[in-house]
Amino acid sequence: MAGERVLVADDESRIVELCLQLLSEQGYQAQGVTSGQEAIARLEAEPFDLLVVDIKMPDVDGLMVLRRALALDPNLTTVVITGYATMGRVIDALNSGARGFLLKPFGMEEFDAAIEAALAQRQKEQERLLLRAQLPILVISQALMTEADVAELSRRLLEVVARQMDAAKALLFLVDVSTDELYVAATLGLPEESVADARVSGAERIFAQTLQAQQVLVWDAKTRSGLGTDLLPLAAKTDIDRWVLIPLSTGKKDIGILSLSHASGRGRPVILSDSDLNLLSIMGRQIAIALENTRMYAMEQRGRTELARALEQQQELDRLKNQFIQNVSHELRTPLAMILGYAELLASGDLGQVKAEQQAPLDIIVQRSYLLRDLIENITAILENEIREPIREPVHLPDLVQAALTDFEVLASQAGLALNGRVGAEVPDVLGDAEHLRRVVDNLIGNAIKFTPAGGMVDVRLGRANGDVMLEVTDTGIGVAAEHQGRIFERFYQVDGTTRRTHGGCGLGLALVREIIGRHGGSVTLKSAPGQGSTFVVLLPAAPASAGPNKGKP
């Protein structure tokens, strides 16, 4: 592997030149200096992978250069050059962290071998470091899997990173997009109250600056690293004037910034090795993803809980509504049946001769009571249809339709209408709820009578159509215009509200017809035109031949 940055420091320029030549032949990026001072200045200015340094130099001793270099970057690989005179110091150099040494005078092969061995060792160390990176990433992934709370996750992640980086103090900021601020989500090694509500404005700008620094940015209260004064209040609050800022970004979204302060512990300034930087940037991405996922999960959970609560409330409301209507219709039905019974008795004269002027009001009482009864029946049936498990027993419709025709005879003749019934002989049973099907027939015949002026005709036919049972109710009445034909099957829809005053009803009958027929697996259609009468056609699937004893009598 070549391309590594190598610094050669030797006071003998001849040796420096020779080394540089050999190194560039091998493909390294080599630089040379001829004094210890220069070497230190170069090391402070830019990063190197390998330092080759002569132990004996007149100004700053090679060992000092070595120590300074390792303080700046503990991962730097170093090889010392020594003569016989300074052999004893090689031990010191190795103890201080040098990875190899060259004894002057050395040949080309010796030089190449020493450089190669030192760099190979470096490679191994880097691999070990990568392994080291796997552990915190694993911990982060575990945190991601098990933690559903953003605050708790932030705290745990902060701990992992701080421990890994040997940071004494740490802060995790999250971005508040609505205000473009960074707010503190978790702290470590800092008195909570000192920073708990610290907010740093200009989140987007700080982010851009931090990202510009490629991996991490070292912010210093003095240099400010392009961040201006944004972090100064925080520095004052925390009493720390140097932070390592790691941008937390998923790649698509900026989540926050992690700041570490680990100056004092080791007595070295905040200088991070390449492997630290790599580790931090890998962890930054992982942390951002973990936080974002948790945030989204929390939001989704919240949404789900709210939805579930709303649904529960809705269900409870529905239950109460149904209960209420059922109670009311029951309470109405019973007294109404008595009113109707006595009114009929009175009107018929069975309870004694009715005076001529009493007859009409009594008839009105009877008629209106019927309307009221129908309405209550419809409401009850609609509710039952919604909440009751469908009954599926064989129903013999000819009996049911015949009974309805008989019941409506009086009403039709009172309305001056001819009511005709044609019930086919071979009509198969249908599977369903006899009571509900009776409401269908009653509503259709009732409407036909209601909406047909005197002198007209209502025809009820029951037969077969392609294996289905077909009920047709035709009248010669006012008809329904095309634009209303779809809507009259909606609950409470009436073509003309004024008809309610004349005919009664509240627009539930056809909705009920459609709902009941739908539940029986059938269909209802209308053929009509204004002034041309109407035909309602109901199709119901015939019951399978072996459907058992039937029930047709209403």
Walk across the sheet containing 217-220 and list its strands.
199-201, 181-188, 169-176, 254-261, 242-249, 217-220
- Minimum CB separation of residue 443 from ligand ADP in Å reads 6
For ligand ADP, give the closer residue by CB, 273 or 485. 485
Give the residue closest to ligand ADP by C-beta: 505
- Minimum CB separation of residue 450 from ligand ADP in Å reads 6
- Minimum CB separation of residue 548 from ligand ADP in Å reads 33
Q: Would you state the structure tokens that stand for residue 189, as one six-digit string?
A: 């090694």
For ligand ADP, give the closer residue by CB, 219 or 451. 451
- Minimum CB separation of residue 508 from ligand ADP in Å reads 6
Contacts of 109 (CB under 8 A, 6+ apart): none
**Selection from 433, 452, 339 nearest residue 384 by Cα:** 433
Sign of the four-CA dihedral 329, 334, 337, 343 = negative
Walk across the sheet containing 468-475 and list its strands.
418-423, 457-465, 468-475, 534-541, 523-528
Q: Would you state the structure tokens that stand for residue 257, as one six-digit string?
A: 């910034």
For ligand ADP, give the closer residue by CB, 187 or 528. 528
For ligand ADP, give the closer residue by CB, 528 or 550. 528
- Minimum CB separation of residue 554 from ligand ADP in Å reads 19
First to last CA, the chain: 96
DSSP for residue 467:
T
- Minimum CB separation of residue 385 from ligand ADP in Å reads 14
- Minimum CB separation of residue 511 from ligand ADP in Å reads 6
For ligand ADP, give the closer residue by CB, 294 or 443. 443
For ligand ADP, give the closer residue by CB, 62 or 479. 479
Q: Which residues pair with 538 in a beta bridge?
A: 471, 524
Alpha carbons 150 and 249: distance in angstroms, whole number: 16
Q: Which residues pair with 539 in a beta bridge?
A: 470, 523
DSSP symbols for 1-60: ----EEEEE-S-HHHHHHHHHHHHHTT-EEEEESSHHHHHHHHHHS--SEEEEES--SSS
For ligand ADP, give the closer residue by CB, 203 or 473. 473
- Minimum CB separation of residue 489 from ligand ADP in Å reads 7
- Minimum CB separation of residue 479 from ligand ADP in Å reads 6
For ligand ADP, give the closer residue by CB, 206 or 417. 417
For ligand ADP, give the closer residue by CB, 224 or 484. 484
Alpha carbons 554 and 549: distance in angstroms, whole number: 15
- Minimum CB separation of residue 418 from ligand ADP in Å reads 15
- Minimum CB separation of residue 297 from ligand ADP in Å reads 48
For ligand ADP, give the closer residue by CB, 277 or 415. 415
Indicate the SS3 state at residue 182. strand
For ligand ADP, give the closer residue by CB, 6 or 404. 404
Alpha carbons 62 and 115: distance in angstroms, whole number: 17
Rg (the chain; Cα; Å): 47
Q: Which phi and psi angles does 478 have, rounded to 5°?
A: -70, -20
Beta strand extents in 161-241 (DSSP E only): 169-176, 181-188, 199-201, 217-220
Q: Cα-Cα-Cα-Cα dihedral of 440, 446, 447, 448, to 10°?
A: 110
For ligand ADP, give the closer residue by CB, 469 or 495. 495
**Selection from 101, 69, 73 nearest residue 87 by Cα:** 101
* Interacting residues toward ligand ADP by CB under 6 A: 443, 447-448, 451, 475, 477-480, 488, 493-496, 499, 505-511, 534
Alpha carbons 368 and 371: distance in angstroms, whole number: 5
- Minimum CB separation of residue 372 from ligand ADP in Å reads 12
